[in-house]
Chains A and B, each alone.
Chain A
Amino acid sequence: MSSATKASRIGEELWKTRVDKVNAELVTLTYGTIVAQLCQDYDGNYQEVNKQLEKMGYNIGMRLIEDFLAKSNVGRCANFRETADMIAKVGFRIFLNIAPTVTNWTSDNNQFSLVFDENPLADFVELPDDGRAQDELWFSNILCGVLRGALEMVQMQIEAHFVSDVLRGDDTTEMRVSLVRYIEDEMPPDEE
């Protein structure tokens, strides 16, 4: 059995048995309000909004990984490919009830794309019509931060960013994730 089907089975099972559900519109409207408020606070500086969303996500991810491991009870992934399946089929399933497709691997197995067929964070959303938001704002950028924060806590330094978004008029919503390095345990410098 491939790791992908195994992961989706685990995700399915957990979603049914271990996860507390909340109303999707509550999540959507809350997140939408946060983004809209940030856009207002930073006066339409969308680069800064993206950065803040990523930072928020990072802080969420660092805690969320603990919850994820406690709920899923899965062990260490053998390689980055398995990690990707775990994120897509288990992580996204239990927290957002979606399972993005893992695709576009580079040959060194260090970079992949997550393609989102649906995105509960972006329901109802239409980006502001000011001529810049369509080119600059990554509405769901918090997800990049969540992945970075979560993986950092399990010794993986990654970089994640969106490359396309249906909100901008693209055909798909795609996030690019690249592994920077595995973080080794290091001795503090002054220890004998």
Chain B
Amino acid sequence: MSYYFTVLSPTDVPLFNIAFGTSKSGGDGIARFRFPDTAQYMNQFIIHSSLDVVEEAQWMNGNMYLKHIDTYPPASAYISAFLTPSGARFLLLHQPPQLPTNASSATTGSSSLLGSSFSGSAGSSSRASASSVAANPTSPQTEEAVRQFMTEVYENYVKTVMSPFYRQGMEIKSSVFRSKVTAAGRKWL
């Protein structure tokens, strides 16, 4: 399972982003997206395109956690959202591990080193993660795991913006926050 997490200010300025992979069920914490060469741009594109859905969904109920709100089938990317009361948006894109049958065709374009390590780990971990959180992006367990993740990130986000040297709307460069997000990902996802 690969994740791309981003924080957006109320005025849609990207404040923070990070890509990471699952650590559970044989994952090694490294993100392996479906299209490795373009993943960086594609993920940003996919995640930002879901903002329209967020803006619709945010008034539907009073919850801060909006659960799974959008899907982008071509990359089988699922997006979950979390809103803070001040209007910052946390968006998490998750991409379940690829089936081993597709692995060879999808990785032919990438370098052989990356391709071999990718298909190798996908093959070994697919059995272990078939019934786990990662394989069912819309299951209640996943919703709950993502909620826990979002809540923990939110707590750390609050501490970060309380720093006197952080100005509202500034990019979050704090390495402490980055490591806390990674830790939260390792814990819940």
Contacts and interface: CB of A to CB of B under 8 A. Distances in A.
A123 B160 CA distance: 10
Interface stretch (B20-28, B111-119, B161-169): B161-169
Interface in A1-60: 25, 29, 31-33, 35-36, 39
B173 interface: yes
B174 interface: yes
Nearest to B166: A126
A127 interface: yes
B173 A36 contact: no
B176 interface: yes
Interface residue range, chain B: 10 to 19
A69 interface: no
A29 B164 contact: yes
Interface string B139-178: 0000000000000000000011011111000000110100
Contacts of B165: 32, 36, 39, 125-128
A125 B160 CA distance: 8
A24 to B, nearest CB: 12
Contact of A33 (B164, B173, B176): B164
Contacts of B163: 32, 124-126
A128 B173 CA distance: 10
A36 B165 CA distance: 6
Contacts of A125: 163-165
11 contacts: A29-B162, A29-B164, A32-B164, A35-B164, A36-B164, A124-B159, A125-B164, A125-B165, A126-B163, A126-B176, A128-B165
Given A25-B162, A39-B165, 19 more contacts: A29-B162, A32-B163, A32-B164, A32-B165, A33-B164, A35-B164, A36-B164, A124-B159, A124-B160, A124-B162, A124-B164, A125-B163, A126-B160, A126-B163, A126-B165, A126-B174, A127-B165, A129-B173, A129-B174
Interface of A: 25, 29, 31-33, 35-36, 39, 123-129
